[in-house]
Structure 1
């Protein structure tokens, strides 16, 4: 049997397959970080699909070559690598398509502040600004707040007017 060149115990063919797999990861990184840098249009073939095919082929061929390469030969490893890469590429393209077309909630606006309830976190002086914490979309938001009369720390309030995106007018909410 001819002697096979190795690099730290990894055969040359496996090393080449690993480099091809790493190229697929690099293509995916460019697609994610570079946006439309490698955009191939709105057709069936997307950058993510190509990244999945290249990476899937490289890594699956490397594994197959290490496990069965001596028994089945390089041609069969290549064929099995391609067969394995096709569903991996299609799956990656499908996942990216689903994630990029996912529905999201609307961005909260100033109008969404009116009617929210919160608590005073910095006392509101007469004729001045304090701070209140309210929840919008499940997230706590701290806003500058004014009121008709002084409001002490910890008082429950309701937003009656949104002066701006970060400033509101509040009134005390009676304890229940």
Structure 2
């Protein structure tokens, strides 16, 4: 019977350091792309000449690229570790550019304005709770493509299931309706 021999691969110190740098860079990049405004000092509207996303992308790619090159070279001397660092820079520059472009695209993405009470006027919907003459019922309308449930008043009683038309927005959550 052969003795059980466990083999352990020793990771070079340079590789471990590069991997730690890469993990830190990716963590900061993830937070920056999610909009946490990490490391946002001074004037809140000033990003500076280089974005946080670009720096974090550079650091992450530098760390992982350096670790790959370090392992491929079997770098155990300072000269080979410096060569591995140069390989990390080669990987980091395009990654920083892509991260910067992605961050800018996310920040500058056009969005629709938030609907206001004026957008309620003219909406079509259905009565979901009967609307009495002297009180409020409930209606469901679509505003900006989303279903919204609102309190509703009317000049005459309206039963459940009746199609309605919003005539006036009394507040952000209540409307005056007529049958359609």
Under TM normalisation by the shorter chain, which class is it?
0.7 to 0.9
CA gap 1:39/1:88 in 2 versus in 1, 3 angstroms: farther
CA deviation string 1:19-55 (max 9, x = no partner): 1012213433554324562579444311111111111
> Which residue in the other structure is 2:4 paired with?
none
Secondary structure class of the residue paired with 1:33: coil
Offset at residue 14 of structure 1 (A) = 1.9
| Aligned pairs for 1:103-142 within 5 A | 103-142=110-149
> Which residue in the other structure is 2:73 paired with?
69
> Which residue in the other structure is 2:21 paired with?
20
TM-score (norm 1): 0.83
Query: Number of residues paired by the alignment?
Result: 166
Q: Which residues of structure 1 form unaligned runs of 5+?
A: 1-6
Query: How far apart in 2 are the matches of 1:148 and 1:169?
Result: 8
Q: Extract structure 1 runs of 4+ deviating beyond 4 A.
A: none
Cα RMSD, aligned residues only: 2.4
Q: Is the contact made by 1:122 and 1:131 (CA closer than 8 Å) also made in structure 2?
A: yes
TM-score (norm 2): 0.81
Offset at residue 77 of structure 1 (A) = 2.1
CA gap 1:97/1:39 in 2 versus in 1, 3 angstroms: farther
Q: Which residues of structure 2 form unaligned runs of 5+?
A: 1-7
- Tell me whether 1:37 sits opposite 2:37 in the alignment: no
